[in-house]
Structure 1
Amino acid sequence: MKSILIIDNHVSTCTLLHKFLTKHKYIVETTTDAIHGLEILKKNKFDLLIVEYHLPDFSGMEMFDRIQKIDPEAGIIFMSGQVTLKNAVNIIQRGALNFISKPLNPDELLDAIKDAQQEKINMRSEKSTSKPICLNHEPTPDTGLVWGKCSKAVDMMHQVKTVGATNYSVIIQGETGTGKESLARLIHSYSPRRDKPFIAVDCGSLSKEIASSELFGHEKGSFTGAHSQKTGFFEQANGGTIFLDEIANLSLDIQMALLRALQEKVIRKIGGNREIFTDVRIITATNEDLLEKSETSLFREDLYFRLSEYVLEVPALRDRMEDLSLFIDFFLEQTSVELNIPKPRISSEVKSCFEAYSWPGNLRELKNVIRGVCLFLGEENMIEKESLPSRIINCFENPLEKLMPIKHDELMETAFEELKTTDLKSTALKAEYKRILEVMNKVHFNKTKAAQILNIHRKTLYSKLRLMNIPY
């Protein structure tokens, strides 16, 4: 990477960068005017652009779009003295190579330029080799997966195929039970690494004490109980993919070690004195908002940026109910094979119960419910309403269990009907009730999940619902 265009509205920044980068053998052109910078770009080809995010003429996003229209292959690094996490994430997800803060650190700037150079090499390599091969490759038909036919499912599968063809790190974000690990395996099956190992790691089961050993391995005698050498997941998956499920559960020091392993592509075993090169693709899954968690220092910002080269949102089952019949049929077929029985049928009443229920456990819950009721089939191999779990029957018989948004105003009136006064205690209770209803509405009246979000015991939630005159 030799030619660099600097666009910054401060003359001092342009002068400083020109001197510094010229000294490091780069060909540098600068301008303090965004429109003039775009005109320069139309006439000349640059390997890299370093652009101020807050220019007087255009926002960072608009500047990015204009540069892309002129030269779609241009590598862009944004810089700013007012870096916000939201701006940085948005622009990097859009396609920028980096976002660095002012005042500029010389070493950090050179590292960012070198990383950008390597990124462009990787992108060219993927364009010329991996992508055409992978997009034409279909996973074998016996994957045992079904993803639905609604518009959200079609869009999700298009994203899986597209990102699968790259080596991007992917965060799969969605509620518990939506099939995140199956999606990770599918992404791996579309990738150039599909013939290499796929290692799934449950981060929730990795305590702080054993996480380093499990991920990176250890040497014999490196700690009490290390009776033999251990090969960690990174070595096992070399050349392939590591899937880190519920990565938010990792402690901060393990997050730091993981970041180093990803950036340097080397690991060191506990008790070892040599570095081991590893080439792995990372796919992570979470039912939490990692970006929001990184803002509270519970998850490292730099690790989030490293992992979030692409974020795949998985819709909840309640948001794609048009595919419910397809999933029911799939799980019935699967269970009939497992139990070696004819494929069961469901009554119209059972179907209505399924459609009325909000499925907080998503596909996993649906699968387990079907497996359970298939043990108690009625006449003519029929699943009857009486065999369903009580929570599903109650939801069908009591529509309040579903608590769709249209009921929210009515429930607010019910909850507040005895709080007519305006004293301080009543005002505080109204605020509390309002928050409870918002959460209950959001989780579709799943009391367990609501209690977790509100950070109260489930019995406490029941007590408050009773005081609010809301059936539970």
Structure 2
Amino acid sequence: MKHILVVDNQISNCDLLSKFLTKKDYKVTTTTRGQTALEMLQKRRYDLILAEYRLPDISGTLFFDQVDKWDPNAKMILMGKGVNLKNAIAMIQKGVKNFIEKPLNPDELLEAIQEAEKITLPQMEDRTSASNTQQAANLPSDMVTGKSKKARAIIEQVERVGPTNFSVIVQGETGTGKESLARLIHQKSLRKDAPFVAVDCGCLSREIAGSELFGHEKGAFTGAAFQKTGFFEQANGGTIFLDEIANLPMDIQIALLRALQEKVIRKVGGSKEIPIDVRIIAATNENLLQKSGTSNFREDLYFRLCEYTLEIPPLRERPEDLPLFIDFFLEQTGKELGRPKAKFCKEASDLLTEYYWPGNIRELRNVIRRSTLFSDSESLIGKDSLPPRITTYKDTLFSADEPSESEESIPTVKKGDLRSTALKAESRRIMEVLEKVRYNKTKAAEVLNIHRKTLYVKIKSLNIPC
């Protein structure tokens, strides 16, 4: 029997939905609070989540994000009255299976549930097995089975810092798997049986950041109809992961620094100090050391967080691990779609190997998921199934080797003349930028305000080692 979790802010709605769905041979569990639902989801897996978009203690968007981070395969249908169409579409694009307008139409509801059921997913009856599967599904394979020297070095550092209570900063480009690494650190710690709460700081504006992180009291501000438990309280005893921490507003950074130093928090609108025991893992795709001390990030907060720093190398720097990732995501996608495991033809496989992967592991995963949809009857993925940016990447590099008609060819540097002096200065500037962005040529081109092709031309013509 399929088990549905109903989350609605009205007890009467919960009762009605429970009776209706029970008659349709579903097992139903209900709750009126989002935080309670999240706690229930940590203990077991439900076949479907039917949730109100406007919950009293957490927004529908944040509720979905929390569930998705814990179990990306979770099926969720949102419902609500008078919800903005743009918001509904945005939620469906994020992964919600359907969005139903209230008052509910029984036939429409049943049809939406049946449509969601058609998506084949691995069956997991309890949260323990779900947690194990989550590690296999969410942790990028370089964190678990990577055989490159850089991958092994990262795992060795995780083994060393994991059992400690050190605060950790995880630095790496977008898509390298910073949250997955944070989860691995948590699993290696003595807190592994306590909560792991992931927070996307980029989504926290100044108006809601304090409430989301530390909670608020009833009546603290307009619309605060209920007391709210913040992320720090939810993570008490465990680990809180602050993704893209550099995006936090400055006043929230001050409150965060106090929470870390004093190990207490205070709800918005409250006077009581609440003791907390939380390990902090922060992530960023920027160099926090360079950013600290500026008007954007507090230096004292940086030095409080950086008890240990882990640098995740980009995917292009560990090509020997690429086949492992490809194989893992092909298998994962096949299970998700209920298909045999696909494979790439040699031409397509060569293109994947030659590609630059600026979006790293996340980009690779998305490319494989998309390409698998176009596999043929023999589960073979051809070149035409790959996105144009990958199939044309090699040609782009070749064209970058030769200056276009609009680009002046850069001559060999000769000693003594004014032009050679300018070229030397240009070479030094390019080297400085490349070092700052850790040789990410896409970022370097942005900083230098030139096209990436032009940067490649200059690197080759000036014999810049990189």
The TM-score, its normalising length taken from structure 2, stands at 0.61
- Tell me which of 398, 401, 410 is aligned to 1:416: 410
- CA offsets 1:8-63 (integer angstroms, 9 cap, x no match): xxxxxxxxxxxxxxxxxxxxxxxxxxxxxxxxxxxxxxxxxxxxxxxxxxxxxxxx
What are the equivalent positions in structure 2 for 1:14-163 lying under 5 Å apart?
A: 140=132, 143-144=135-136, 145=139, 146-147=141-142, 148-163=146-161
Query: Which residue in the other structure is 1:239 paired with?
Result: 237
- CA offsets 1:203-248 (integer angstroms, 9 cap, x no match): 0011111111111111111112222211111111111110000001
Query: Which residue in the other structure is 2:345 paired with?
Result: 347
CA 1:270–1:295 in 2, change beyond 3 Å: closer, same or farther?
closer
1:177 CA displacement? 0.5
Cα distance in structure 1, aligned partners of 2:327 and 2:297: 40
Matched, 1:210 2:208: yes
Contact 2:397–2:453 (CA under 8 A) maintained in structure 1: no
1:396 CA displacement? 2.4
Contact 1:360–1:443 (CA under 8 A) maintained in structure 2: no
Query: Which residue in the other structure is 1:198 paired with?
Result: 196
Counterpart of 2:410, as a letter, is F
CA 1:445–1:269 in 2, change beyond 3 Å: closer, same or farther?
closer
1:295 CA displacement? 4.0
Pairwise CA RMSD: 3.5
- Tell me which of 443, 453, 459 is aligned to 2:447: 453
Query: Which residue in the other structure is 1:313 paired with?
Result: 311
Cα distance in structure 2, aligned partners of 1:204 and 1:219: 24
Counterpart of 1:273, as a letter, is S
The TM-score, its normalising length taken from structure 1, stands at 0.60
How many aligned residue pairs are there? Answer: 320
Q: Which runs of 5+ in 1 are unaligned?
A: 1-138
1:418 CA displacement? 12
Moved more, 432-441 or 274-283: 432-441
Cα distance in structure 2, aligned partners of 1:418 and 1:149: 41
Structure with higher RCO (Cα < 8 A, 6+ apart): 2
Contact 1:352–1:396 (CA under 8 A) maintained in structure 2: no
What are the equivalent positions in structure 2 for 1:317-466 lying under 5 Å apart?
A: 317-378=315-376, 380-400=378-398, 415-417=409-411, 435=429, 447=442, 449-450=443-444, 452-454=446-448, 456=449, 461=451
- CA offsets 1:68-111 (integer angstroms, 9 cap, x no match): xxxxxxxxxxxxxxxxxxxxxxxxxxxxxxxxxxxxxxxxxxxx
Counterpart of 2:258, as a letter, is R
Contact 2:441–2:452 (CA under 8 A) maintained in structure 1: no
Q: Which runs of 5+ in 2 are unaligned?
A: 1-130, 461-466
- Please say which structure displays the higher CA radius of gyration: 1
Query: Which residue in the other structure is 2:280 paired with?
Result: 282
Counterpart of 1:416, as a letter, is I
Cα distance in structure 2, aligned partners of 1:354 and 1:279: 45
Cα distance in structure 1, aligned partners of 2:392 and 2:195: 45
Query: Which residue in the other structure is 1:185 paired with?
Result: 183
- Structure (1 or 2) with the greater helix fraction: 1
Moved more, 320-329 or 220-229: 220-229
Query: Which residue in the other structure is 2:117 paired with?
Result: none
Cα distance in structure 2, aligned partners of 1:311 and 1:318: 21
